[in-house]
Amino acid sequence: MEILKLKPVCKDYLWGGRKLVQFYNKESDLDKVAETWELSNHKDGSSIIINAPYENVSFQNYLNNKGKEIWGTHCEKYDNFPILIKFIDAKQALSIQVHPDDEYALKNEGEFGKNEFWYVLEAEPNAFLYYGVNQEMTKEEYRQHIEDDTICDYLKKVEVKKGDCFYIQAGTIHAIGAGIVIAEIQQCSNSTYRVYDFKRLGVDGKPRELHVDKAVDVSKLIPSGKNGNADGELIHNDGYDELLLTKNDYFICTKYDVLSSMKKEVTLESFQALTILDGEGKIIVDDKEMYIKKGDSLFIPAQEGGYQIEGSVSFIQTRL
């Protein structure tokens, strides 16, 4: 039975900070570490395996060499590995943006769309994000609000705290505000349409590109009424707690807080990705042990078997 530990790709977008290096055990010489692509097979950056026997092999090459069987039977409909997992440190606010759905993205971008899930790891006092619109509007009104710099007045502003979570359905206008660190689980897509960027300049001294026409095409302009809540209720088990965070058409995320020990099965139905949020401990498979700590990311191929985690550690398990 295999378990892989992954090294992420680091992205130095201008709004990023250094919290992922300081507090989540990431290694990077970049001045800003805005995102770490923890589990990624995307063409814009593949994570790297760091444990034997695949040490220094890219996750992309590993998946290509092993074949689709290790994704699991629930992934049979996909041609490309379907999930991308990130940590995000927003020292400054991100741009107002929106993602297309599968149909639009496949037609216009050559890849799947982007439905995503956010779990808030840290939030400074009064930190907030934008999550959908606060009133219904037409496409013409939407475009006008972008052009006259009033679009933020028409977005749903949500103050957040550690533990809040949001399923961002494709077409939902959104933005992470300053002072927030999140774990993001998403479709393996990088299709993002920038709606509004607060007139910021890029590293080249010019305003960053907007994608208003495409954003107008795909944005949902009716309030959804959803808030930052998990889909399930907290369940107390012997040695650990579990909470279903989201179960949607694209992935299932469950948060586990191991207090002493827990055992979990792996099946042929789906891979499992473990994103370590806090604490430390060890994962045990057969007679082998692997030390795990805050910030680590693990990939477990679809297979028949099981593993045990011991220690005091919190993590998100992602599967299909």
Question: Residue with structure tokens 């107002």?
Answer: 96
Distances (CA, A) of 320 to 78, 83, 97, 119, 249: 11, 9, 26, 18, 9
Helix (H, G, I), strand (E, B) or coil at 48: strand
Q: Name the catalytic one among 18, 194, 200, 319.
A: 194
DSSP structure string for 101-149: -HHHHHHHTSS----EEEEEEEE-TT-EEEEEESS---HHHHHHHHHTT
Report the Cα–Cα distance between both ends of the chain, in Å, rounded. Answer: 19
- C-alpha span between 32 and 203 (Å, rounded): 12
CA-CA-CA-CA torsion sign (133, 86, 193, 61): negative
Q: Is 194 a catalytic residue?
A: yes
Catalytic center residues: 194
